[in-house]
Amino acid sequence: MDTDGSSIPDEEWERFLREAEARTPGAPEEPSARARMVAQRLREETGPPPGWRTHQPPRRRGRVWYVVGLVVVVALLIVALVPGRAAGWLGFGDGGGSTAPTPGAPTLDDPFKGSPAEHWAAGTAGITMPSARAAGWMSEKQVSDALDRSLAFLSDSGLDPAVLRGERPAKAIGALNTKQPGIKEYLANAFDSPTREDDPLTLFSRFDPAYARPAGDVVKTRGELTYREGERGAVEVTADVTFVYALVRASGDGDEVARTIARREIVMSWDDPGKVITVPGTFSLKSYRLDSANGGCENTTGYFRPDFEKEPGPSDGATEVDPYERSTSMDERMKGRDTADCDTATRT
């Protein structure tokens, strides 16, 4: 403001506008309509401008229109700078639905996103091991070895990348006591002509390479090994582990990620060779069972077949099960359930 009370000269004001616009990237060469109005009003004013911090009665209507105008200008700037994002903020769609992943949906970069497994450990790191002590016919060192071999079986049967790609689990099969009655027949049927009764998936995780492939090298796990003295002094190691697999279509078309969850409970009997016919360094199968989600309910192909759907389908009266829930024991979970029935996973 001039100290003599006169208005800003027209030339100075116009120069100010030109300089201000020149410092604004992408600004129009001509002054805006509002700038021209302000300049015109200043030229028409006859009295001195109001002093700094001088009180004036508020002009409410003028302020309302000023605020509205400011909002409109800001909105137009946003639309001009980021039209796609602004359309989403303002509720406008493209009419064909967005292809962007929904919040929490798995992606190729984060295939476990949106599931509890996102915070689980990977591989054998997610399986808790007990401290070894002498039990049954085994010394503390032998129990420790049995626990390590039991963990290796879980890795070879549920984590081996080659097995996940559909190959036969040769190393895992080598840990089984083939002297156990019925085991050779089970293995032959399970891989050559699988059925609901002779299903390799109860022990081994495999995916048909022509249908699906792992989305990366990570398998999330949560579970534990426990042990106790069993029949005839055997050491029975029980594994209760949930495996979470992220898959993509084998064809490589698209980036949709599906997850298959397999909870296995396997009781491995490390028998006293003086009392039971066994192959040294192997265990007998005391029991084994599987509770899986998104692996193909009525599937008897010998491979998990995940459904590449974003959300679980309708239950149609089937029992709803949370495949990530582990506070319920397998006995409780399987109680009253017919293994021939298809339950509905509440999430994958």
Question: pLDDT tens for residues 24-57?
Answer: 444 444 444 444 554 455 454 444 443 333 333 3
Residue of 211, 285, 266, 215 whose CA lies nearest to 244: 215
Q: What are the strands, taking DSSP E only, across the chain?
A: 121-122, 127-128, 212-214, 220-229, 235-249, 258-270, 284-293, 320-321, 344-345
Confidence of residue 101 (pLDDT cuts 50, 70, 90): very low
Given this model, what pLDDT does residue 323 score?
93
CB 347, CB 312: distance < 8 Å: yes
Residue of 303, 311, 302, 346 whose CA lies nearest to 325: 346
| Residues with Cβ within 8 Å of residue 251, at least 6 apart in sequence | none
Confidence of residue 251 (pLDDT cuts 50, 70, 90): confident
CB 294, CB 348: distance < 8 Å: yes
**Which amino acid makes up residue 255?**
D
CB 136, CB 272: distance < 8 Å: yes
Q: Can you state the angle between helices 33-44 and 10-22, rounded to 10 degrees?
A: 160
Residue-by-residue DSSP string for 252-307: --S---EEEEEEEEEEEEE--TTTS---TT-BEEEEEEEEEESS-TT--SSSB---
Average pLDDT over residues 77-81: 48
Render pLDDT for 129-174 as a digit per residue (tens, 0 to 9): 999 999 999 999 999 999 999 999 999 999 999 999 999 999 999 9
Helix (H, G, I), strand (E, B) or coil at 65: helix
Of the CA atoms within 13 Å of residue 211, those in its CB half-sphere come to 16
Given this model, what pLDDT does residue 99 score?
33
pTM assigned to the model: 0.69
Given this model, what pLDDT does residue 318 score?
63
Query: CA-CA distance, 164 to 207, in Å (whole number)?
Result: 6
Q: Which residues of 325-342 are buried (b: 16+ CB within 10 A; e: fewer)?
A: ebeeebeebeeeeeeeee
Given this model, what pLDDT does residue 225 score?
98
CB 63, CB 56: distance < 8 Å: no
- With pLDDT > 70 as the criterion, what percentage of the chain qualifies? 65
| Residues with Cβ within 8 Å of residue 196, at least 6 apart in sequence | 300, 339, 340
The pair of three-digit structure tokens given for residue 293, joined into one six-digit string: 């989600």
Given this model, what pLDDT does residue 57 score?
36
- Give Cα separations from 322 to 110, 193, 223, 325 (angstroms): 21, 31, 16, 6
Model confidence at 266: pLDDT above 70: yes
Task: Report CA Rg, the chain.
Answer: 35
State the CB neighbour count (10 A cutoff) for residue 241.
Answer: 22
Query: CA-CA distance, 271 to 268, in Å (whole number)?
Result: 9
Q: How far is CA 17 from the centre of its chain?
A: 54
Render pLDDT for 186-232 as a digit per residue (tens, 0 to 9): 999 999 999 999 999 999 999 999 999 999 999 999 999 999 999 99
- β-pair type (220-229, 121-122): antiparallel
Given this model, what pLDDT does residue 6 score?
44
Helix (H, G, I), strand (E, B) or coil at 242: strand
Given this model, what pLDDT does residue 72 score?
52
Given this model, what pLDDT does residue 337 score?
67
The pair of three-digit structure tokens given for residue 100, joined into one six-digit string: 């962007």
Scanning the structure block, which residue is given the tokens 């027949």? 185
